Amino acid sequence: MKREAIFDETGTYRYSLKRKWGNDRERKVAFITLYPDNADEIREDYVTSKCITFAKKWGFNAVECLNLFSYRAQKADDLSDLDKEDAIGAETDRYLYYGTRNADLVIAAWGKNVFHDRENDIKQLFEGMDLACFSGQENHPSQLQFISYDTRLMPFELESEEPYLFSAFPSLYR
């Protein structure tokens, strides 16, 4: 497996984590979670392992883990204690933009604890994109650590009052 992690020069922010297996043309799933934990270019953490398992199950051969906040935290409360810019990180939106546009499938998996008015930022960043998610609460996508491997994907619409519209999503992921 090829492994890559992109950090800032201090190691405080992880902007991207990539895994690729096999020699075929890259078919990538991008997972967008709330914040990075302990995974790096050598080791996986629980969430990264789940991303890889889901991608393999669906027939993909690459994963990119991206985050709404790139500050490496142990818990979500660590983010709310920081200023918005410090929690997000200087290069986060750039990696989110390019990482999601180079993916065959983009999964929103950040949960409902989004701080610093970040939801308005991501509505602009992902405008016009097809996003998927696992069902969540209160119109927020579920976090990966709380779902089982047999949970089905559904479309996720950032602008909608009712974002979980089952009809227009490819049957492969139902």
Could you tell me the pTM of the whole model? 0.88
- For residue 36, give Cα distances in angstroms to 23, 24, 63, 117: 27, 28, 14, 19
Q: Please, what is the angle between helix 118-125 and helix 92-101, to 10°? A: 40
Q: How far apart are the first and last CA of the chain?
A: 28
pLDDT digits (tens, 9 = 90+) for 127-148: 889 999 987 666 778 888 889 9
pLDDT digits (tens, 9 = 90+) for 70-124: 999 888 888 888 998 999 999 999 999 999 999 999 999 998 877 777 878 888 8
Task: Let me know if 13 is exposed, middle or buried by CB neighbors in 10 A (0-12, 13-18, 19+).
Answer: buried
